[in-house]
Amino acid sequence: MKLITAIIQPDRLDHVREALIQADITRITVSRVTGHGRQEDIEYYRGQKIAPNLLPKVRLDIAVNDQFVNVTVDTIVAAARHESGEIGDGKIFITPLEECVRIRTNERGGSAI
C-alpha cells in the first residue's frame, strides 16, 4: 500500500478530481494549504529581501494498493499540468503506507482502502 500526496494548483482541482473518477479512483482527501516552491516572487522592502509569500495550493491524499500507484500518478500528472508545464504546477510524493484500518469494521490492510 502507498500514500500518494499531491500538491497542485487550486485551479486544477476539478480537472484532477474528474480524471481520478474516470480512472476509478474515488477515495481522496482534499485540503487547502499554502506553500512556496520554486516560484520566483522575491520581494524587496527598503532594499532588504523579504520572505516570499505563501501561495494557495491544494493537497490531495490518496491511499492506494500497489497496483493503482502508476495509474493514480499518471492521472494526476496529466490533469494537474498546465498546457506546456509551468513552474508551480505541483509535486507528487509517494510514501509507503504501513497499515490502514477502517474504523467502522476494524478491517485492516489493502481491503480497508
Q: Is residue 101 part of a domain?
A: yes
Tell me the C-alpha distance between 52 and 82, whole Å: 23
Specify if 66 maps to a domain: yes
* pLDDT value for 56: 87
pLDDT score at 101: 94
pLDDT of residue 83: 86
Q: What pTM was estimated for this model as a whole?
A: 0.84
pLDDT for residue 27: 92
For the chain, what is the domain count? Answer: 1
pLDDT attached to residue 85: 83
Quick: pLDDT tens for 6-34. 999 999 999 999 999 999 999 999 999 98
- Grid coordinates representing 27 are 477515495
Q: What is the pLDDT of residue 87?
A: 82
Beta strand residue intervals within 1-113, DSSP E: 2-8, 29-35, 43-45, 48-50, 55-64, 90-96, 101-102, 107-108
Domain CATH code at residue 95: 3.30.70.120
- pLDDT score of 84: 84
Name the residue range of residue 78's domain. Answer: 2-37+53-112
**Domain for residue 43, yes or no?**
no
46 belongs to a structural domain:
no
In a domain, 15, yes or no: yes
Amino acid 4: pLDDT: 98
Segments in the chain below pLDDT 50? none
* DSSP symbols for 42-61: -EEETTEEEPPPPEEEEEEE
